Chains A and B, each alone.
Chain A
Amino acid sequence: MSTKIEDIELRLLLEAIFHKYGYDFRNYSMASLKRRLLQACEEFKCRSFSQLQDYILHDMESAHAILAFMTVQVSEMFRDPSYFKAFREQVVPVLRTYPSIKLWIAGCSAGEEFYSFAIILKEENLLDKTVFYCTDINHQALNKAKTGIYSLDRMKKFSMNYRAAGGTSSLSDYYTTSYDAAIFDKSLRKNVVFSDHSLVSDASFGEMHFISCRNVLIYFDKTLQDRVLGLFKDSLIRSGYLGLGAKENMLFSIHRNAFEEVIKNERIFHKISV
């Protein structure tokens, strides 16, 4: 299979997905997306992206399975614990000064990141005055997030992270177990809206105090990163915060001057008025 033809087919496939399902992957980082679609080809025994496109357009059931290959769902609670520690120690004192707090977790996957923030804010006695907006394009992940059920064998890693992030009790205080599942306390999600929202095409949310968008931008190309950072800029209150993933940056973005990195090693920025 010549690379040139393969790349033509890849572009056509992404167009087909866009026109049929409205999901726009055309400005994702292609190197990684192409690898994942090649895996889908293997899984569905397709010789080419064109064959995969045939499934996508004509076979609904396979289409949904193929779409699952398009996004990366790797996540953890308190992922990069130092980020959450910095949030607790340096951002929470500022959030405390507001009468109410709006926090947007963009690309929340199955909710690991949401429960991390909810636990911290509960321990800081701020949970009752916080409203969370958790958004993603992956329905399966959103549904999982709503249940707050994770496999028990992930708790060892999550507990370690929780402690490293400065947790004040024990993670197991927040979940009950049933067979091999850990079920997180539903009081943690009293004030949360989970919604299907695409950073590619949907509008901004208003007046956020903190936006956490981690390990999402690395899967976007520069053009799309610019769009999303613009969206965040418009969704934050004056001097609102934006937290990115440990290896995400805005060095090459047209919006880099709209933000200032306030917690250097943790990629926590705040909006500056220009």
Chain B
Amino acid sequence: MSESQYKAVVVGASAGGVVAISSLLECLPSNFLTPICIVLHLPPDKNSMLDQIFNDKCSLQVKEADDKESIQPGFVYLAPPNYHLMVEQDFSLSLSSEDPVLYSRPSIDVLFETAADAYHEKLLGILLTGANSDGAKGLQTIIKKGGDGLVQSPDEAEAKTMPMAAIKKSPSARVESLENICVFLKSLNS
């Protein structure tokens, strides 16, 4: 198995995101080693069970990110509700309760921008369904630093605003169906 061209994948979604992300995670095989960090907008209730729900459905290890834990291959990290998730230069994770960005905490932009700063061109950003424009700026930063951007096709997304805002800001991002995004991800590891 060859090394993937990416050291990490970051994913952002909002309205409709639970379904989209769970189908994305479900399609990945247990030998998909590239770590994945996810920001999914949720109501700020502190005991989200999403890590368990996703864990039951997919063969990767899904967990809520702990402050200062190092990013490991084969893991999927979720931003806890009401905290920003950031990637540090030493590839560990930090949480923060700074003010919301674009009314969102966790903010997709914050994850994408800090991850781009740590991984540069070795980063893949994926933006899925959502009813606001969080993530557009972050995806632009990823692409500016040499990484790649994938956007779920607005035609099939449950909420189109988020993918459309990203496409507008980053015309060079690839626009694909969720199914093709899965195919692409699976091709990375083989």
Chain A residues packing against B (C-beta within 8 Å): 3, 7, 29-32, 34-36, 72, 74, 80, 215, 217-219, 221-222, 225, 245-249, 251-252
Query: With an 8 A cutoff between CB atoms, is B89 at the interface?
Result: yes
Nearest to B114 among chain A residues (CB) is: A31
**Inside 8 A of A7's CB, which chain B residues have their CB?**
89
Cross-chain contact B117 with A31 (CB below 8 angstroms): yes
Knowing A31-B117, A218-B94, A218-B97, the reply to whether A247 touches B110 (Cβ < 8 A) is: no
Within the complex, the shortest CB–CB distance from A110 to chain B, in Å, comes to: 15
**Inside 8 A of B118's CB, which chain A residues have their CB?**
31
Cross-chain contact B88 with A30 (CB below 8 angstroms): yes
Cross-chain contact A35 with B113 (CB below 8 angstroms): yes
Cross-chain contact B95 with A35 (CB below 8 angstroms): no
Nearest to A29 among chain B residues (CB) is: B94
Query: With an 8 A cutoff between CB atoms, is B80 at the interface?
Result: yes
Nearest to A6 among chain B residues (CB) is: B117
The 8 Å CB contact of A31, one of B66, B83, B87, B97, is: B87
Knowing A3-B145, A247-B83, the reply to whether A32 touches B94 (Cβ < 8 A) is: yes
**Inside 8 A of A30's CB, which chain B residues have their CB?**
88-89
Cross-chain contact B69 with A251 (CB below 8 angstroms): yes
Given contacts A29-B94, A32-B86, A219-B96, could you give 10 more A-B pairs where the C-beta distance is less than 8 Å?
Answer: A3-B145, A7-B89, A32-B94, A35-B86, A35-B113, A72-B96, A74-B98, A74-B99, A218-B67, A222-B92
Interface string of B121-149 (1 = CB under 8 A from A): 00000000000000000000000010000
CA distance A32 to B98 in the complex (A): 9
Cross-chain contact A251 with B66 (CB below 8 angstroms): yes
Chain B interface size, under 10 / 10 to 19 / 20 to 34 / 35 or more = 20 to 34
Cross-chain contact A72 with B97 (CB below 8 angstroms): yes
Nearest to A28 among chain B residues (CB) is: B94
**Inside 8 A of B67's CB, which chain A residues have their CB?**
217-218, 247-249
Cross-chain contact B88 with A29 (CB below 8 angstroms): yes
Cross-chain contact A31 with B86 (CB below 8 angstroms): yes
Within the complex, the shortest CB–CB distance from A161 to chain B, in Å, comes to: 13
Interface string of B27-45 (1 = CB under 8 A from A): 0000000000000000000
Cross-chain contact A249 with B114 (CB below 8 angstroms): no
Cross-chain contact B97 with A35 (CB below 8 angstroms): no
Within the complex, the shortest CB–CB distance from A41 to chain B, in Å, comes to: 14
Cross-chain contact B80 with A247 (CB below 8 angstroms): yes
Knowing A74-B97, A219-B96, the reply to whether A31 touches B88 (Cβ < 8 A) is: yes
CA distance A238 to B98 in the complex (A): 34
CA distance A252 to B96 in the complex (A): 17
Cross-chain contact B97 with A215 (CB below 8 angstroms): yes
CA distance A29 to B84 in the complex (A): 13
Cross-chain contact B98 with A221 (CB below 8 angstroms): no
Query: With an 8 A cutoff between CB atoms, is B57 at the interface?
Result: no
Cross-chain contact A252 with B98 (CB below 8 angstroms): no
CA distance A218 to B69 in the complex (A): 11
Within the complex, the shortest CB–CB distance from B44 to chain A, in Å, comes to: 11
CA distance A221 to B89 in the complex (A): 11
Cross-chain contact A249 with B66 (CB below 8 angstroms): yes
**9 A-B pairs in the complex with CB atoms less than 8 angstroms apart:** A30-B88, A31-B86, A31-B87, A31-B88, A35-B110, A72-B96, A246-B46, A247-B80, A251-B69
